[in-house]
Amino acid sequence: MDLGKIFLLALLVNNIVVMRFIALCSYIGMTSDLGQSLGMGYAVTFVTVLATAATWPIYHYVLVPLNLTFLQILIFILVIASLVQLVEFYLKKNVPGLYTAMGIYLPLITTNCAILAVTFENISFKYNFIQSIAYSVGVSLGYLLAMVLLAGIRERIKTSPVPKFLQGTPILFMATALIGVAFMGFAGLVK
Q: Which residues contact other proteins by CB under 8 A?
A: 18-25, 28-29, 70-74, 77-78, 81, 111-113, 116-117, 120-121, 124, 165-166, 168-174, 176-178, 180-181, 184
Give whichever of 137 and 139 is closer to other proteins, judged by the CB atom.
Answer: 139
- Residue 60 per-residue DSSP state: I
Q: Is 53 exposed, middle or buried (0-12, 13-18, 19+ CB in 10 A)?
A: middle
Q: Say how many residues make up the chain.
A: 191
Give whichever of 19 and 91 is closer to other proteins, judged by the CB atom.
Answer: 19
Q: What is the nearest approach in angstroms of other proteins to the Cβ of residue 102? A: 20
Q: How far apart are CA 177 and CA 48, in angstroms?
A: 26
Q: Which of 118, 114, 138, 102 minimizes the C-alpha distance to 27?
A: 114
Q: What is the nearest approach in angstroms of other proteins to the Cβ of residue 38? A: 21
Q: What is the nearest approach in angstroms of other proteins to the Cβ of residue 67? A: 14
Q: How far apart are CA 137 and CA 103, in angstroms?
A: 20
Give whichever of 23 and 43 is closer to other proteins, judged by the CB atom.
Answer: 23
Give whichever of 109 and 137 is closer to other proteins, judged by the CB atom.
Answer: 109
